Amino acid sequence: MKYFIHTYGCQMNVHDSEKIAGIMEGLGYESCSSAHNADAVIFNTCCIRETAEQKIYGHIGELKKVKRAKPNMIVAVCGCMSQQTGVADKIKESYPFVDIVLGTSNLNLLREAVLSAQNKKRSFNVDFRQYNEEDFAQSRTSFPNAWVNINYGCNNFCTYCIVPYVRGRERSRRTSDIMAEVKSLLAQGYKEITLLGQNVNSYGHDLPYGESFASLLKEIGELDGKFRLRFMTSHPKDLSDEVIDAVAAYPNICNNIHLPVQSGSTEILRRMNRRYTRDDYLSLVQRIRAKLPDVGITTDIMVGFPGETEKDFEDTLDLVKQARYSSAFCFIYSRRKGTPAYSMDNQIPYAVKRDRITRLLACQNEVTKEISRNMLGKRYEVLVEGANTHYADTMCGRTESGRLVNFKCDDSYIGKFVIVEIEQAKSATLWGSIVKERQ
């Protein structure tokens, strides 16, 4: 029997899909690459923006015909979208061919649900109280990188964001459990560990012995062996100097910080409930650059938040030029039911949002190009991560600061550290050649 997982959204979901894969493989299913060949199709969903949701409903709908031809096929919908109020009932009624709906909180119930579905019994459970995040056999898919959860959920309630409602309150994993997982991954040969949390900087505040994100970084930084440690996402209001110092002190910790700004206007930030001002953010960027001169800072930015004026938007453009991000994920604000911003006045017309995102992308593109040009002719350590499937015999990997580089070599290099000289840097895409093998 074969399973296919359709994953939407962020790295958190990518990693949850590895847990889903572990459960399916525990049941004797093997992975396959298309829903049409599968005996079980699992949608691991996202609801951060309306476009994500519309796409998912479209993809679920497409399975109606497939299921008619293959009545024993199991269809499951898991993840953030199903955790929203009312969605499980909607799917139960409008998509009768869906066998299973589970929320972010009930992945542990997937095994039982699949066994029931094999006997034609449908399961719907999005009850947060059933929560169990630990003890999943995982089937990892991103060698040489391994994702490791450090905290779940979010307490920040940014006014535009659905995440706190679908992922629940912040919960930190015990440091001893994280350390055991990291050590086991390194022993298995993983070369890059990426710590995951909606807000990694608040790690430990709910643990009993004064644990903090900085103390966790130091403990992992002390481990022997050649590997890279990355982490995401950092909320600017909680990024301490101690964390910056830990990144500076340990060569294993990559000088790469994802620091979502969302807007460059203090007034919009206030209404987003971000709890920092434009100046707070820019001085944090300065503090980071003072201690980590080669750091790559990336960000998330939103345009068209309710009430955003042309002046507010220009403040965002100006901040982008000052912060000098190596790259930025830029989004059009999407109204999410149940969030405070949904009912704010002055929702911005779509045409204005479109115009702003185009200008924002152009602005960031200029910054990225300039940073790329500065890399020309220089040499960087790169971890070979995988094939660039668009070109023959081409692999790609990232510099410590997080920039993606393409270079010619075969796939026996995957998981090795190499030194690459940058030869082409016209845009965001960098090309180079291996000048030295490291390991």
Tokens standing for residue 333: 């604000």
Residue 83 or residue 198: which is nearer to ligand SF4 going by CB? 198
12 touching ligand 5AD, by CB under 6 A: no
331 touching ligand 5AD, by CB under 6 A: yes
Closest approach of Cβ 397 to ligand 5AD, in Å?
24
Instruction: Name 398's bridge partners.
Output: 383, 404
Q: Which of residues 245-264 bind ligand 5AD (CB under 6 A)?
A: 260, 262
Closest approach of Cβ 300 to ligand SF4, in Å?
8
- How many H helices and E strands in the chain? 13, 19
CA triple 30-32-35, angle to 5 deg: 120
Alpha helices in 10-78 (DSSP H): 11-26, 50-69
336 touching ligand 5AD, by CB under 6 A: yes
Indicate the burial class of 195 (C-beta count within 10 angstroms; 0-12, 13-18, 19 or more). buried
Contact 76, 43 (CB under 8 A): yes
Residue 271 or residue 416: which is nearer to ligand SF4 going by CB? 271
Closest approach of Cβ 258 to ligand SF4, in Å?
11
CB count within 10 Å of CB 393 equals 11
The interface region with ligand SF4, picked from 15-23, 154-162, 347-355, 381-389 by CB under 6 A, is 154-162
CA separation for the pair 330, 360 (Å, rounded): 8
Give the 3-state secondary structure of residue 70: coil
- What mask, x for binding ligand 5AD by CB under 6 A, covers residues 268 to 307? --------------------------------x-x-----
Closest approach of Cβ 332 to ligand 5AD, in Å?
6
The interface region with ligand 5AD, picked from 78-86, 116-124, 327-335, 429-437 by CB under 6 A, is 327-335
Amino acid at site 152: Y
235 touching ligand 5AD, by CB under 6 A: no
Closest by CA to 286, choosing from 231, 236, 249, is 236
Q: Which of residues 156-215 bind ligand SF4 (CB under 6 A)?
A: 156-158, 161, 163-164, 198-199
Binding-site member from 49, 191, 271, 403 for ligand 5AD (CB under 6 A): 49
Contact 201, 243 (CB under 8 A): yes
Residue 157 or residue 391: which is nearer to ligand 5AD going by CB? 157
Q: Tell me which residue has tokens 């929702």.
A: 347
Give the 3-state secondary structure of residue 422: strand
Binding-site member from 104, 326, 334, 401 for ligand 5AD (CB under 6 A): 334
CA separation for the pair 392, 47 (Å, rounded): 36
Q: Which residues bind ligand SF4 (CB under 6 A)?
A: 154, 156-158, 161, 163-164, 198-199, 235
Q: Which residues bind ligand 5AD (CB under 6 A)?
A: 48-49, 160-161, 260, 262, 300, 302, 331, 333-334, 336
